[in-house]
């Protein structure tokens, strides 16, 4: 869908803060108890040696300690103390949150510009799919025809026909890929225009209501209708951006461009003989 790409973009890139917290696990992070277990195993394996060479008990350190991942050159089991940093000066507290909620899918359904992009890009994709289906049917017919004529062709003629068919398939696939890529780029170019304007409109509506925090509706478990500004954002978006500029469609190649090179060379030789 054309709307899915805007769901995260409008909420994050609008500078309308949506908190997102991610935890990363360091494979070398110290787990309390593991180092003690590793230190206890040699003592359990050599009880007699421990009794012969008793060591004085160590007092607990006054500073908290953690076992950091071993660095090159560090001895095994080396412990490092966490540095004690001085307190920072007390900063300014953030303002009281005034919250708004938006539903981007609803906005895109109302947006006339988004409807325009969806109609145009959908029509181009449908047209490309139909042409690809017709071309595939032509390949199957050519293969069946070649199979029925196999007995009446020489080995050289058969190889030439097979090579021409393979070149036709390869060229057509390349053309369809290029046209599909052009459609995708046109959709991205058009949606980018809507995204930029949508961000500006969200800021405009939020400022008019004194909101300093706007959340995406899918991330809110419960809210009241007074928080939702989707309808107003959609109306303002239609005022400032009723339509967008969509790049022109890439024209389909001419019949001569789709002709395999081997067939083109054969046609050129036949034309030269006639002249």
Q: What is the pLDDT of residues 37-79, one digit of tens each?
A: 444 444 444 444 444 454 544 444 444 444 445 555 555 555 6
pLDDT surpasses 50 at 30:
no
pLDDT at 10: 41
Residue 245 within a domain = yes
Q: Is-contact 246 211, C-beta < 8 A?
A: no
269 vs 32 pLDDT, higher one: 269
Task: Provide φ and ψ at 243, rounded to 5°.
Answer: -155, 165
Helix (H) or strand (E) holding 64: none
Instruction: Categorize the per-residue pLDDT at 150 as very low, low, confident or very high, splitting at 50, 70 and 90.
Output: confident
pLDDT in the model for residue 4: 42
3 state SS of 31 = coil
CATH of the domain at 244: 3.30.910.20
User: Taking the mean position of all CA atoms in its chain, how far away is CA 139?
Assistant: 35
Pairing of strands 99-102, 213-216: parallel
Of 21-25, 100-104, 166-170, the least confident: 21-25
**Contact by Cβ (8 Å): 156, 137:** no
Instruction: Evaluate whether 214 touches 97 at the Cβ level (below 8 Å).
Output: no
Residue 70: predicted pLDDT: 56
Backbone phi, psi, residue 140, to 5°: -65, -40
Question: 3-state DSSP call for residue 54?
Answer: coil
Torsion angle of alpha carbons 235, 212, 16, 229, nearest 10°? -20
Average confidence (pLDDT) over 140-163: 88
Mean pLDDT, rounded, for 161-172: 92
The predicted structure's pLDDT at residue 213: 94
Q: What would the mean pLDDT of 144-165 be, rounded to a whole number?
A: 88
Q: pTM of the full predicted structure?
A: 0.59
Q: Does 163 fall in a domain?
A: yes
Contacts of 120 (CB under 8 A, 6+ apart): 190, 246
Residue 127 has pLDDT above 80, yes or no: yes
Separation between Cα atoms, residue 203 and residue 10, nearest integer Å: 11
The answer to whether residue 227 is domain-embedded is yes
Q: Is residue 20 part of a domain?
A: no
Indicate the pLDDT class of residue 267, thresholds 50, 70 and 90: low
What are the E-state strand segments in 103-223?
213-216
**CA–CA distance, 42 with 34 (Å, rounded to integer):** 14
Mean pLDDT along residues 151-170: 90
Q: What is the mean pLDDT of the chain?
A: 76
Residue 30's contacts (CB-CB under 8 Å, 6 or more residues apart) are 66, 67, 68, 69
pLDDT above 90: residue 239 = yes
Of the pLDDT bands very low, low, confident and very high (cuts 50, 70, 90), residue 34 is: very low
- Tell me the mean pLDDT in the region 166-195: 95
pLDDT band at 207 (very low <50, low <70, confident <90, very high): very high
Position 87 in a domain: no
**Within a domain: residue 64?**
no
Percent of the chain with pLDDT over 90: 52
Q: Is the pLDDT higher at 70 or at 184?
A: 184
pLDDT of residue 158: 87
Which pLDDT score, from 0 to 100, does residue 19 have? 36
Q: How many domains does the chain have?
A: 1
Residue 109 domain flag:
yes
Look at residue 87 and tell me whether its pLDDT is greater than 70.
Answer: yes
Angle between helical axes of 112-148 and 155-208 (0-180°, round to 10):
170
Higher pLDDT, 152 or 227: 227
Helix (H) or strand (E) holding 235: helix 230-240
SS3 state of residue 65: strand
Q: What is the pLDDT of residues 97-119, one digit of tens each?
A: 999 999 999 999 999 999 999 99
Residue 72 falls inside a structural domain: no
Torsion angles phi and psi, residue 73, rounded to 5 = 95, -10
Provide the residue range defining the domain that includes 217.
99-263
């Amino acid at each position: 869908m054309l709307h899915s790409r805007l769901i995260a973009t409008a909420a994050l890139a609008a500078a309308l803060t949506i908190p997102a917290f991610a935890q990363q696990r360091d494979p070398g992070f110290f787990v309390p108890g593991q180092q003690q277990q590793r230190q206890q195993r040699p003592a359990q394996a050599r009880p007699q040696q421990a009794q012969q060479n008793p060591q004085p008990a160590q007092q607990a350190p006054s500073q908290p300690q953690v076992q950091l991942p071993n660095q090159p050159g560090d001895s095994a089991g080396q412990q490092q103390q966490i540095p004690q940093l001085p307190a920072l000066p007390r900063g300014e507290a953030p303002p009281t949150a005034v919250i708004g909620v938006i539903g981007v899918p609803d906005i895109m359904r109302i947006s006339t510009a988004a409807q325009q992009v969806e109609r145009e890009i959908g029509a181009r994709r449908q047209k490309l799919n139909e042409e690809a289906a017709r071309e595939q049917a032509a390949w199957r017919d050519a293969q069946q025809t070649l199979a029925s004529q196999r007995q009446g062709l020489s080995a050289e003629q058969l190889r030439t026909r097979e090579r021409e068919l393979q070149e036709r398939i390869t060229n057509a696939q390349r053309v369809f890929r290029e046209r599909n890529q052009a459609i995708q780029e046109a959709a991205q170019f058009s949606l980018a225009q809507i995204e930029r304007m949508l961000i500006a409109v969200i800021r405009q509506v939020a400022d008019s209501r004194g909101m300093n925090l706007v959340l995406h509706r899918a991330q809110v478990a419960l809210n009241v209708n007074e928080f939702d500004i989707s309808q107003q954002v959609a109306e303002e978006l239609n005022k400032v951006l009723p339509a967008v500029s969509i790049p022109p469609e890439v024209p389909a190649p001419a019949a001569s461009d789709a002709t395999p090179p081997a067939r083109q060379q054969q046609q050129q030789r036949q034309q030269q003989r006639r002249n």
